[in-house]
């Protein structure tokens, strides 16, 4: 049974009592995700400022193992709007446990709401959990915290997954953020990305290699002021792959 369709039917008929009864049955007996049903009841009880029933909806969501984060996020907003810091904090922290994406946004939200002492206490745990769940968002947080050396080490030597393979994440934007502080290291980062696209390459991979080599050239020219260093490296590279005319064509202006 699609409980939301039935709830909508009663709403259209103007039978609020029957719509509510059906929704209550839906959050208990409905299969899978019943998001709209939960949200219907939430809106109803929140307008009445019926805290007890709002808490009941959260408990029901937790017991169903669906809608947990949605309901806890709404509970956080509810208590925040009422100025109840402690209950809002509790809902926010519990909500994080059910996060499955957008960890950077979750981190920023918690940092922005929690009082300084509470944040100081809980931040290390949140930080480490995000490192395990989303390495990309972990590095974004590291940049915010000024941990540039940690980011550099991470993109040069990515951690391995449980199968022993390096975690493949697009680290380019992190490298761009580190150019001013670590120009030589970022040169090597982009040089290796360029080089990997050449030996068994084709026109498309040669183009990709050329794009990375452009970044390398800019660092040599704009940061290191070492035009001679660039000329030698690109000349050696062109010599190494002199039998690949398509590659040479892509880098002819470099």
Is the confidence at residue 112, as pLDDT, over 70?
A: yes
**Cα angle at 175 between 171 and 176, to 5 degrees?**
120
pLDDT at 162: 64
At 130-176, the pLDDT tens digits run 999 999 999 999 999 999 999 999 999 888 766 666 666 689 999 99
Q: What's the CA gap between 188 and 136, in Å, rounded?
A: 21
At 187-246, the pLDDT tens digits run 999 999 999 999 988 999 999 999 999 999 999 999 999 999 999 999 999 999 999 999
Q: Which residues of 113-145 are buried (b: 16+ CB within 10 A; e: fewer)?
A: ebeeeeeeebbeebeebbbeebbebbbbbbeee
Average pLDDT of the residues in 13-39? 92
- The lowest-confidence range among 25-39, 118-132, 227-241 is 25-39
At 89-107, the pLDDT tens digits run 999 999 999 999 999 999 9
What are the chain's domains?
1-98 (1.25.40), 179-254 (no CATH)
pLDDT at 168: 62
Is the confidence at residue 180, as pLDDT, over 80?
A: yes
The torsion angle over the Cα atoms of residues 198, 204, 208 and 213, rounded to 10 degrees, is 60
Please report, for residues 134, 220, 235, the alpha-carbon distance to residue 188 in angstroms, rounded to integers and kept in the order given. 25, 11, 16
* Cα first-last separation, the chain: 65
H helices of 82-182, in order, are 85-96, 103-113, 116-133, 135-144, 148-156, 172-178
pLDDT at 246: 95
pLDDT at 163: 63
Q: What's the CA gap between 105 and 170, in Å, rounded?
A: 19
Find out whether 38 and 70 touch, Cβ atoms under 8 Å.
Answer: yes
Q: What are phi and psi of 166, to 5 degrees?
A: -65, 140
Q: What's the CA gap between 19 and 35, in Å, rounded?
A: 15
């Amino acid at each position: 049974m699609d409980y939301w369709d039935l709830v909508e039917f009663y709403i259209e008929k103007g039978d609020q009592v029957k719509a509510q009864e059906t929704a209550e049955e839906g959050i208990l007996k409905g299969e899978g995700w019943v998001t709209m049903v939960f949200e219907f009841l939430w809106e109803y009880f929140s307008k009445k400022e019926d805290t007890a029933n709002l808490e009941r909806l959260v408990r029901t969501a937790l017991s169903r193992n669906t809608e947990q984060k949605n309901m806890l996020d709404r509970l956080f907003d509810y208590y925040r709007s009422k100025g109840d810091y402690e209950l809002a904090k509790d809902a926010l922290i519990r909500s994080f446990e059910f996060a499955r994406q957008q960890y950077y946004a979750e981190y920023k939200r918690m940092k922005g709401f929690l009082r300084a002492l509470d944040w100081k206490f809980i931040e290390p745990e949140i930080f480490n959990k995000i490192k395990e769940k989303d390495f990309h968002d972990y590095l974004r947080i590291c940049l915010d915290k000024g941990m540039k050396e940690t980011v550099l080490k991470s993109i040069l030597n990515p951690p391995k997954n449980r199968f022993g393979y390096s975690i493949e994440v697009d680290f380019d934007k992190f490298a761009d953020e580190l150019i001013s502080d670590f120009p030589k290291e970022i040169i090597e980062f982009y040089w290796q990305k360029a080089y990997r696209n050449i030996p068994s390459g084709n026109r498309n991979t040669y183009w990709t290699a050329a794009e990375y080599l452009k970044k390398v050239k800019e660092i040599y020219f704009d940061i290191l002021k070492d035009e001679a260093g660039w000329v030698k490296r690109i000349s050696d590279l062109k010599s190494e792959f002199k039998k690949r005319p398509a590659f040479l064509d892509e880098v002819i202006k470099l």
